[in-house]
């Protein structure tokens, strides 16, 4: 990962080989073909021989799902802007160009092709100075600075088709951050009725009080509030909370895992294999967690898909939990004993605690990459 970051900083691009598994690529290619067959695509203006689609749900999910990996490779905190998928046809050409503001940091992923490898080139200017030829296999990605790095493809003559998806982001702390979601209200993610599920008959007030008494003791070891970049970084302006690691399938962790499985069966029907990581969370006065997503690769191929959150108390001021869609915040029920289940790729957070202490328990349901 350090080598990838170094290359990205120096060359303004990095070739990520075997980034996405081939089975997932095949399924995404099939989904693109299905969208074409259902006439949901358009004729591409940049590549008029090709079919393309902007912001399909399956690719917007990928945009969120892969964000943490691209944050690691770029060394930047990123906001997603939009996804774009294209099925290239023979005779197509991608002219030399740079991208607009919402494509400040972009990734192109090869989902599949028939024929020979069709190279992409990266250069420094319109004269193609210092051109680098990159041969991308199925599952390869190239992460690049779209506004700075010139890129192109020569005429496509040695193949029958090529499926490509483009995932665009901006630096969350940079000059293009206003282009988050490409200045739209949000991404093409689940509708209102699919946003979350609420359960208010899982935990009694007595059970909540017992958990708080048990895990807020000084003798119970607390973990620091790392932020989800995979580096163990701590930034209290982003996340200020103490954590107690819990057994996944015992006691409260097991109860929440069972709720998550049932909710998934009734609502989303994601491909979930098991629960991963349960945590008791203590937000002090002044604590917070800025808007973020939970989706990332937890262990190996395990991707967080559903977040299961139990609210243990409501005797504090501030500290509202929210789910964010673009500029709009949604505040689900969160009284004492409420259990909330929602897709981990939804933007969410906790507002500043003004007075008191906020306690909750969270666990995640995981499985393979979204299909």
Inter-residue contact 61 to 345 (CB < 8 Å): yes
**pLDDT average, residue stretch 244-253:** 88
Rounded CA-CA distance 96/328 in Å is 38
| Residue 369 DSSP one-character state | P
Map residue 342 onto helix, strand or coil: strand
Map residue 3 onto helix, strand or coil: helix
**pLDDT average, residue stretch 114-131:** 94
pLDDT at 124 over 60: yes
Q: Which residue's entry shows tokens 């998928």?
A: 85
CA atoms within 13 A on the CB side of 247: 6
Whole-number percent of the chain with pLDDT over 90: 65
What local confidence, expressed as pLDDT, does residue 347 receive? 82
Tell me which residue of 329, 253, 338 sits closest to 290, measured CA to CA.
329
**Partners of 105 in the beta sheet?**
145, 169
Number of Cβ atoms within 10 Å of the Cβ of 157: 12
Map residue 192 onto helix, strand or coil: helix
What local confidence, expressed as pLDDT, does residue 299 receive? 46
**Partners of 363 in the beta sheet?**
278, 308
What local confidence, expressed as pLDDT, does residue 171 receive? 95
Tell me which residue of 73, 36, 68, 29 sits closest to 52, measured CA to CA.
36
The rounded Cα 70 to chain-centroid distance in angstroms is 10
**pLDDT average, residue stretch 297-318:** 83
Tell me which residue of 283, 308, 286, 305 sits closest to 296, measured CA to CA.
305
What local confidence, expressed as pLDDT, does residue 229 receive? 47
Exposed/middle/buried for 221, CB within 10 Å: 0-12, 13-18, 19+? exposed
What local confidence, expressed as pLDDT, does residue 23 receive? 83
Rounded CA-CA distance 361/277 in Å is 11
Q: Which contiguous run of DSSP H or E holds residue 50?
A: none
The tens digit of pLDDT for each residue in 93-122 reads 999 999 999 999 999 999 999 999 999 999
Calculate the dihedral angle through the C-alpha atoms of 149, 153, 154, 155, rounding to the nearest 10 degrees. Answer: -150
What local confidence, expressed as pLDDT, does residue 271 receive? 87
**pLDDT average, residue stretch 64-85:** 91
Rounded CA-CA distance 344/329 in Å is 16
Domains and CATH numbers, the chain: 2-183 (2.60.120.620), 192-367 (2.60.120.620)
pTM above 0.85, yes or no: no
């Amino acid at each position: 990962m350090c080598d990838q970051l170094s290359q990205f900083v120096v060359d303004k691009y990095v070739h990520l080989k075997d980034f996405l598994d081939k089975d997932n690529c095949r399924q995404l290619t099939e989904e693109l073909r299905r969208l074409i067959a259902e006439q949901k695509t358009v004729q591409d203006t940049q590549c008029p021989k090709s079919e393309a689609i902007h912001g399909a749900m399956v690719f917007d999910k990928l945009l969120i799902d892969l964000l943490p990996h691209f944050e690691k490779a770029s060394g930047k905190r990123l906001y997603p802007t939009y996804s774009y998928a294209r099925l290239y046809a023979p005779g197509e050409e991608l002219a030399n160009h740079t991208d607009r503001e919402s494509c400040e940091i972009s990734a192109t992923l090869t989902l599949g092709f028939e024929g020979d490898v069709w190279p992409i080139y990266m250069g420094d200017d319109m004269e193609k100075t210092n051109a680098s030829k990159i041969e991308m296999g199925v599952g390869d990605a190239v992460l690049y600075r779209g506004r700075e790095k010139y890129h192109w493809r020569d005429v496509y003559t040695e193949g029958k088709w090529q499926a490509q998806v483009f995932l665009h982001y901006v630096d969350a702390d940079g000059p293009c951050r206003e282009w988050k979601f490409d200045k739209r209200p949000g991404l093409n993610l689940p509708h209102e009725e699919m946003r979350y599920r609420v359960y208010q008959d899982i935990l009694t007030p007595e059970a909540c009080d017992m958990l708080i008494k048990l895990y807020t003791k000084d003798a119970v070891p607390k973990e620091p509030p790392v932020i989800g970049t995979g580096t163990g970084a701590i930034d209290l302006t982003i996340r200020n909370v103490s954590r107690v690691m819990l057994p996944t399938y015992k006691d409260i962790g097991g109860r929440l895992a069972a709720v998550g499985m049932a909710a998934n069966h009734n609502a989303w029907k994601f491909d979930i294999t098991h629960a991963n990581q349960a945590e008791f969370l203590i937000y002090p006065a002044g604590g917070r967690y800025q808007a973020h997503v939970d989706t990332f690769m937890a262990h190996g191929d395990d991707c967080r898909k559903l977040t299961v959150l139990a609210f243990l108390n409501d005797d504090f001021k501030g500290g509202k939990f929210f789910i964010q869609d673009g500029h709009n915040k949604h505040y689900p029920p969160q009284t004492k004993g409420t259990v909330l289940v929602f897709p981990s790729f939804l933007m969410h957070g906790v507002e500043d605690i003004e007075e008191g202490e906020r306690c909750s328990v969270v666990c995640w349901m995981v499985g393979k990459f979204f299909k």
